[in-house]
């Protein structure tokens, strides 16, 4: 089993804004393990969630689609419910440079954050509409790119009128880069991870 340690112009019309990973075959535990009162100094991320530069991600996942689409093909139900980290965490924070708000993931019934919790939280947060403040805080050179991504997503949706009406979503801030490359550690703490997309 190998483990990875934590280290490492004028505006166009505005659209409406509303360390090596854990081994793959860990035994799924039905009872939650006791959680530390604060995150430990050393943290390991499950191999299915790990960002490994210059390598193909362990799972082929588009964060704009429901993570349940991974089940049966790339990920078993047991793996889906394995702990996201070792040691286990009750909460985990994910940030992405393109997003203005971090994603806070809170453990479900098992008492620790699972792979499922992480992927579902990311997908859910990206499906939320942006608010006026988030859009206004975008760098001036990024706004036209977000707008273009929004219009392109609406055209491809199959229900363009409805999607246009719903406005820009946080997923549009990714500028079309929706392939999950994994989570990488940060210097902000063992419970704070960076989302890598491409």
Domain that holds residue 120: 44-131+168-197
Question: For residue 162, what pLDDT is reported?
Answer: 94
Q: Please count the other Cβ atoms lying within 10 Å of the Cβ belonging to residue 9.
A: 7
Whose CA is closest to 114, among 77, 150, 140?
A: 77
Joined together, the tokens standing for residue 170 give 């946080």
In a domain, 163, yes or no: no
Average pLDDT, the chain: 85
Q: Percent of the chain having pLDDT more than 90?
A: 74
pTM attached to this predicted model: 0.79
Whose CA is closest to 66, among 52, 53, 80?
A: 80
Number of domains in the chain: 1
In a domain, 122, yes or no: yes
Question: For residue 40, what pLDDT is reported?
Answer: 58
The strand pairing partners of 167, in sequence order, are none
Q: Check if the beta carbon of residue 72 is closer than 8 Å to that of residue 16.
A: no
Question: For residue 23, what pLDDT is reported?
Answer: 36
pLDDT at 31 over 60: no
CA distance 161 to 80: 35
In a domain, 152, yes or no: no
In a domain, 73, yes or no: yes
């Amino acid at each position: 089993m190998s483990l990875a340690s934590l280290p490492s112009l004028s505006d166009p019309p505005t659209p409406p804004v509303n360390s090596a990973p854990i081994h793959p075959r860990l035994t799924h535990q039905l009872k939650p393990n006791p959680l530390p009162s604060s995150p430990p100094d050393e943290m390991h991320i499950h191999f299915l969630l790990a960002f490994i530069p210059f390598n193909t991600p362990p799972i082929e996942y588009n964060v704009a689609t429901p993570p349940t689409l991974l089940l049966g093909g790339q990920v078993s139900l047991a793996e889906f419910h394995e702990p996201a980290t070792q040691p286990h965490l009750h909460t985990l924070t994910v940030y992405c440079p393109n997003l203005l708000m971090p994603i806070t993931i809170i453990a479900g019934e098992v008492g620790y954050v699972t792979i499922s919790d992480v992927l579902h939280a990311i997908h859910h947060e990206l499906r939320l509409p942006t608010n006026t403040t988030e859009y206004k805080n975008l760098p001036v050179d990024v706004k036209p790119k977000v707008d273009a991504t929004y219009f392109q997503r609406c055209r491809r949706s199959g229900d363009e009128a409805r999607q246009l009406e719903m406005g820009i979503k946080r997923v549009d801030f990714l500028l079309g880069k929706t392939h999950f490359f994994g989570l990488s550690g940060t210097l902000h703490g063992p419970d704070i991870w960076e989302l890598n997309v491409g």
